[in-house]
Structure formats: C-alpha cells, structure tokens
Amino acid sequence: MPPAGDAAHAPPPPHRRLVFAFYLTGHGFGHATRAIEVVRHLIAAGHEVHVATAVPEFVFTAELPRSPSSQGLLHIRRAILDCGAVQTDALTVDPLASLLKYHETAVVPRESILRTEAEWLTSINADLVISDVVPVACRVAADVGIPSVCIGNFSWDYIYAEYIVASGDHHRSIVWQIAEDYSHCDILLRLPGYCPMPAFRDVTDVPLVVRGLRKSRSEVRKELGIAENAKVVVFNFGGQPAGWNLKQEWLPDGWICLVCGASDSQEVPPNFIKLAKDAYTPDAMAASDCMLGKIGYGTASEALAYKLPFIFVRRDYFNEEPFLRNLLEHYQGSIEMTRRDFLHGHWKPYLLRALTLQPCYDGPTNGGEVAARILEDTAVGKKCISDKFNGARRLQDAIVLGYQLQRAPGRDIAIPDWYSLSETEVGACPISENIKTKESTESCFEDFEILHGELQGLPDTMSFLKSLSELNQSELKSNGKQPQERIAASVLFDWEEEMYIARAPGRLDVMGGIGDYSGSLVLQLPLREACHVAVQRNHPSNQKLWENTQARRLENGGMEPVVQIVSFGSELSNRSPTFDMKLSDLMDVDKAISYEKAREFFCRNPSQKWAAYVAGTILVLMTELDVKFTDSMSILVSSDVPEGKGISSSASVEVATMAAIAAAYGLNIAPRDLALLCQKVENHVVGAPCGVMDQMTSACGEANKLLAMVCQPAEVKELVAIPNHMRFWGLDSGIRHSVGGGDYGSVRVGTYMGRKMIKCAASDLASESSVSDAPVQSNDYKQNAIELLKSEASLEYLCNIPPHRYEAIYSKDIPEVITGDAFLKKYGDHDDTVTAIDPKRSYNVKAPTRHPIYENFRVETFKALLEAANTDEQLSALGELMYQCHYSYNACGLGSDGTDLLVNLVQEMQHRNMSKGESPSLFGAKITGGGSGGSVCVMGKNCLKSSEEIIEIQQRYKAATGYLPILFDGSSPGAAKFGYLKIRRRPSSPIAAK
C-alpha cells in the first residue's frame, strides 16, 4: 500500500460535477467535524453533496464556505437512521437503552428505511454513497446499484459488542445485521486509532482528518482577555453538556479554564470562561496549554495535530476508547485522570503533570483532502489501491470481535496482546514489550537482600525481582517514554523498608471444570505462568503517595491509611494502571462494609473494577477473620497469566495478593482456608459465580502434579503424579472467556434448578413410598429405598447422585428448558447464594443438570485410569473421557467455534496416524474452566512427535482464523509451596541511595 500522502498527488478528478450522498451518524459532533472537512474539499472541487443526518444543520452551515461558487452545492436533510449510543451523561453510556433505541430506530422501520432511502438516492442521481458510519446506508446503496464508501475509525458492530455483553445475548442479531450491512460497502477509508472492523471487504488507510486553525493563539487569548503567560486548560467533553458544578479551587492559582458545551444557565467561577456555543474548538485548543476531556476521535485527532497535552477521563462502555488512547500514548500526548478525582475536583496534580508532556505526533493531518480525492476517484470507477493484507487483517479483526463478545459484564475492555499492526502502522499501536524481559536473570536479585524465603529457581520470580530493581525513577526518565504503570510503580515503595512477595500460578483444567460448584472431583494442573504481588505496609505518615493521592489527603486534612495499587500490563487493556483508596472506604463506622456495598463501590468506574480482585482481599480478611488494618498499604501486581484464556488469571491475582498481605501482617492462614477466602472475593466482591477449584489449585497445587480435589466444598484428596509417558498442554482459542459472563452464570442457574427439581421429586417419592401398600421384596428393601430418597431430598451437592440413579429416577422429569418465572412459581428458589434467577429469561436445565453428574463419574474414572499400565488403550480411554466432557460442555451451551476447531484438529491428528497404521501421539482434548471460549486442554504422549503435532495444530488454527494460539506448557508450585519472600533493597543500590 502506498503512503497515504501519495493519494493527494493522484491524477486530477474529472471536471463533471459529481453528486455525493453523505450519511452521517447523529452520535456526537466528532463525526460531524471530520465529515465537514471531507465535504469542504468535495465542494471546493465543484461537487454537490447531500448530507443525511440528525446533526443540527447549523453545525455545517457555520463551518462551510458560503462563496458564490459554492452556492447550491451543500444540502442538509434531516434523517435518523441510527442512534449511536444513548448516554446518561458525558461519561456514561446506557448499553441496554442503546440497543433498544437502535432496534426502535433502525430495525423496526427497516423496510420503510430501505424503500425511502432508495427513492431519495434515485431522486438526487447520486454517484456515490458515503457513510460515517451509518450501517443501513451501505445496504441501500447496494440495492440501488451505487458504490458506497465508509469513513471512520470504528464501526457500530464492534461498539455494540460491548453492549451485548452487558445487556444479554438476545440482542446479538443487531450486531450481525449491522455487520451484514457494512459488508455491502465497497471501501472503508480507515482513520488512525481504528478498532477492528472485520465486516468490510476492502480497506484503505488515510491520514488524520483535522480541522485547520482560523485564528492564532494570541488572537484567541486577546479576544478572551487572557494574558499570554497565563496557563489555560480547555474543558472539552464534546456535545454532552453535563452541567457539572465547577469550582474555583479546582484549578491551580493563576490558571484559566475554557469551558466548551456549557448550557446557558450554567454558572461558572471567575477563573472559568464559558465559550460560545458556536466557538471554533480547534482555535480554543491551540490557545490552551492542555485539554481536559473524554477521548473521542475529534478530541484525540486535534490534540495530536496541535500537540496539546490531553488529560482524559475514561468512559463506560465505549470500545473505541482504548484504541484512541493507545494512539495518544504512542505519541506521548496524554495522561489519565481518575473519574473520582475528576468529579471531586482534584485536578491540580494532573494539570501540572500535563505541562511536562511533550506530544510528538508529526504525521500528516490532511485526511480530509486525501479522503475527498479517493471519493472522487471511486465515484467515477477508479479502483483505489488498498492494503494487500486485507484478508489476513479481516480474519484477525473477526477474532477480536468474537473475543469481545465473550467478555464479562463490567470487566475491562481489552485489546488482545496479539492484536498489533505492522511496524509502519499506528492504529491499535504495536503492543509494548513485556516488562519482564527474557534476558539473563543471573544478577536480577543482587540489589535485594532476601530476609525470608527462597527463589526456588523460578525464572519468573527472578524476572519480577529484576523489574523491581529497574524501578529507578531517574533512570526511567532518562530512558524516554515509559508506560504510566512503570512511572507510578517507581514511587510506590519506600525502598529502605521491607516488602513481601507472594506468587500464585494459573491452572489448566484437566478434568472437572464446571462440575466444581456441584461438588465434583476435579483434576487441576498448576501452570508455569503465575502472578507475583509485592506488598509493603507503612505508617500513614511515612507512606509515599502519588501526587493526586497526596492532594486529596491534604484537602481532607487527615493522615488516615491509604491503599495504593499498581497493576502491570494495563497497557494491553482499557483499564487504569493505578488505583488508590482510603481504608476507611471499606468501613461502615467500626465494621467492614457489606459485600454488596463493596461491589457497588468498585463498579462505579469500570476502568478500575479490576481493583476489586486486589483490594477485595482486604475486605474479605476484615469481614471473615476480623483483621484490623491500621497501616497504609502499597501493592504491586504483575501477572504472566493471560486474561480471558480460561486458565484462572483472576484466581492467581486473588491468591497471590492475599498471600502477600497475610505475610506482611503476620496472618497464619492455612492454604485451603486462603483459597476459600479468595473464592469469597470473586463471588461476593467481584460478583463472578465461580466454584473453588481455581483458587484451590493456585494456592495448594504442586509442580507437575494434578491436584485431585472433591469440591464439597474444598477437600484435597491427593496430589496425583503425572505418569512419565504422558503430558498435558493448553492451547488458547483466542476467544475471550470469563466466569462472569452470562453463559456461565445461566448454566450455573440451570444446574441449581435441576438440583432443586431432583430434591423436590425425591421428597415426593419418599412421601409416597412411606404410605404405599404396594408389595416389596422386604421391609428392609423398602426402608433402604425410602432412606435413599430422603438422602436425595436433602441433597447438597448434585454430584453425589450416581448416573444410574439419575437415569432411573429423575432424568425423565427434568425439562430441557424452563422460564425463570415458571420455575419460581413452582419451586420458590434455586438455593444458590451467588446467582439470581431472571424471571423473564429461559434457562437450559436438562444438559446443565446432567453434565456434573456424569462429569464426576468421568473424573473418577480418569483418575483411576492414570494408574493403569502404559498402553495406547490407556491413553485412548483417557482421551475418550476428555472428548465426552468437551461435547457435554457444548450441550450446556458453553462451547465456542474456536475451541471446537482446536479439539477437531487434535482428533484429525489422532485419526490420521491411526489410518496409517501408526500409533497416535495425541489422544484427547477438551474445553477448560468455564467454557464459552478460553483454552483447550490437550493430552498425549510425552515425546517429540507430540510437540511437533502441537505446533502443527497451532499453525493450522492460525491458517483458519488468523490467530496463533498461545501454548501453555509446563508447571510450577502453588502459593503455599512457594511461601513468600521478604526482601529489602541493599543500602548501596541506586534507589536506596536516592
């Protein structure tokens, strides 16, 4: 693909006047501002442009030229063909309301829209349809036989994917309809900072579309009465005037704030200036020293173009944001302000920090001109040269969309770490190198004195200590651009004081999976990948505080304990890398707040909800063990366990955090108890209805052994050595998994419904048998049968019913599906403390009830077979049990195309060898953990051929999907076996000498 700038030097367009129909979404003014730049160039070339939009007409007429030569070339037509996002305020989107509004706006009247728009396009004799980014416009153009071009950095199918996760799968048809509409588009003109957009057939990249300046910095300041040397911040939250009660003390002395979008009735302090509604924002930005606002295309592109430091506040539920944020961070142009600090006016530290930024974008900003030339060429039939990698990019984008649709409600909006562009592109910027490099670690811990514990030869622990030793603030500054998390971590600890480090691995679910909350036996392998957490406690008067935290403390006038947390790896997702809170936020007078209140507290800002996994351990210790925390706490979390892969990333964070805190505060908690406490964090503070096997494996597992545990509630049966002749691998499907997702929760509800039905049926049968006069073999037989029914009537764990009892007595009466309302009317409740029944929803019951009963039997059989003789028959039998488990997951609704493909590839490999008369190397595979994507566990011989076939499967999966699966291979000790490290930096080290 030639450089975008070359398009501007293409042959001149034909002289005949062309007619363009420009469909523009009504969501936000950012779309309008970039559309205006394109329209400006089309009109300047003498073409006629008809704009169909819900954006007010004055937005166009105020900015476009009114020269005699342009008269009659611009036509504005009011049309509402999509709704964008329904926002409750400038920072908050209502996902369900947005989907319902789109259904009302674009789905219900669809046939009428198609007919009306086709007639309109015909009536104006349109040569080309342009869409930013109205889906139905592409379909209408195809129906009429007119080419269409989309312009944008995102498409609504990807944005709405986030809303589907939050609002329910029954709205997915909206996403598929939008994607189908986009597929009719001839070309997508893709802007920098773009999201995955797999629906488009052809893609051409164009430069930033940016509005030019009309006045100089001095002219603007003179008109507003602002001195040249005054510091100015422009307050820009788009077309969403929020009516915030702005206060004078929120600004540093001598600063002025220019407020965009203020309502006529809004009062502002003397150091705030309300700009007129028709004020030209680029001029205001160029006259300012920094900008405070939300990230959208308009604000991001113009901040980059004018090298204006951008202080941003994250928005809820908008998938566009992390890609634009990466673009800003790539050019060192932004810092984040937490929503809490924004709403409470703690602005000063961020404003002062913004002045130290040096934005460095030097790319082209003539996207409007380039786009207009491409539109002219397309209208007359010239083919634009597009990206030769389009096919591979679309496959990769499709995987990301599938990944997004498997997200959990309220979790971070993640950019997968494998979604990166070529070295010459900047969209979803190439992902930063892993903080923990793989270079030699021989001297990584020389800077530290180890006062307790051992490294146990673990390379990742050595790498973690190396990353600590590199947190030298002066060196970080001298090395240029550094991730925000590294800068925050460099001032997190007092290096002269002791700190405590714990480590907890992820786990590979070999057998058992979702049977854990039904009491099943499970077999789990702790993985090589693990999470490290460092904790330091300090008296509140001695704790090092970040500038924003210090500012809040000074305003509050107290020295109460504060918790500060840094999470490494946040650059891979749309979450804040830092979190801080007062310990008193977890207190209600003299006792801990309820789990419900804590869940609400952490949900206030979705970009910081991740902190619930860390700070939630503090609340659980306060609540369950009555621990009194009076010291401040600094916590650094660094995890190598990838998120969303079904290998217990959350459990490893919880277990490592609680183990480190326990070490720092001298709490003696048994490994089993620690795992149960961590499960409470996930169930009650985070709100994910997981079983306990993840936390138990992370806490109690041992390297190269399967943890055999009966989940009633958590009894370790034994540690089973893996026979030398066999081996387990994990392969990631690339589809994001989370136990907080709707599918997992609905299957759990269905399972508990089935248990309640069985208990009620057993109670009825016991009552009937006790009064029945039917002849029986003996009174003893009758009594035993009644006692068995009574036992099943008080059933606590579904897995305690043998398969033969289920099939003989209960199976026929368990319905395939039941509505929540019907179940509640007949049975009252399902007696599960961590899920709730939605009366309006239908639940699968038969498959979720059957699965754990048979899974428990499969796991027990699997465990017994591990001790059998080393033969292909043994491995084939083990593999068959894994396959049965996999397809039972699918029957429950917890499968995915990606995991099915991986399992099928293993089966093909196995059968290929058998058809040649050779002994197979791979024998079984199954989906793991909570299902609905994530990883697959593969079992085979411990030999070179197996490893070669695993690599072949990875490559075949990549060829089919565009995604190369991550391979999980190896094991490591659980948190209990690792213990903890107590370290202190040696006095001669650079940090200690600062």
Contact of 541 with 559, CB cutoff 8 Å: yes
Alpha carbon distance 800, 792 (integer Å):
9
- Residue 37 CA to chain centroid, in angstroms? 33
The amino acid at residue 520 is S
- Residue 507 CA to chain centroid, in angstroms? 20
Does the annotation mark 397 as catalytic? no
pLDDT of residue 106: 92
Query: Residue 706: which H helix or E strand, with range?
Result: strand 705-710
Alpha carbon distance 661, 891 (integer Å):
41
Q: What's the whole-model pTM score?
A: 0.65
pLDDT of residue 778: 56
Peptide bond before residue 713 is cis, with ω within 30 degrees of 0: yes
Query: Residue 821: which H helix or E strand, with range?
Result: helix 820-827
Low-confidence stretches of the chain (pLDDT < 70) are: 1-15, 28, 65-70, 165-169, 238-243, 385-396, 399-400, 402-446, 472-482, 552-558, 570-575, 606-607, 736-742, 771-781, 988-994
Q: Distances from the Cα of 863 to the Cαs of 88, 723, 818, in angstroms? A: 54, 11, 35
Q: Categorise residue 365: left if φ over 0, alpha if ψ from -120 to 50, beta otherwise.
A: alpha
pLDDT of residue 319: 77
Judging by DSSP bridges, how do beta strands 92-93 and 128-132 pair with one another?
unpaired
pLDDT of residue 796: 93
Q: Distances from the Cα of 218 to the Cαs of 308, 490, 592, 596, in angstroms? A: 16, 39, 55, 53
3-state SS, residue 125: coil
**Taking CA 564 as the corner, what is the angle to CA 561 and CA 567, rounded to the nearest 5 degrees?**
160
pLDDT in tens, 388-410: 556 666 666 776 676 566 554 44
Q: What is the DSSP string of 553-574?
A: HHHHT----EEEEEETTGGGBT
Judging by DSSP bridges, how do beta strands 187-190 and 705-710 pair with one another?
unpaired
Alpha carbon distance 102, 994 (integer Å):
58
Contact of 183 with 199, CB cutoff 8 Å: yes
Q: Distances from the Cα of 135 to the Cαs of 28, 57, 121, 349, 576, in angstroms? A: 16, 21, 16, 42, 32
pLDDT in tens, 877-903: 999 999 999 999 999 999 888 899 999
CA-based max dimension of the chain: 107
- Domains of the chain, CATH where assigned: 19-207 (3.40.50.2000), 217-364 (3.40.50.2000), 464-471+485-704+711-717 (3.30.230.10)
Contact of 735 with 898, CB cutoff 8 Å: yes
Edge-to-edge strand order for the sheet containing 726-732? 922-927, 935-941, 726-732, 967-968
Catalytic residue among 127, 509, 640, 694: 694
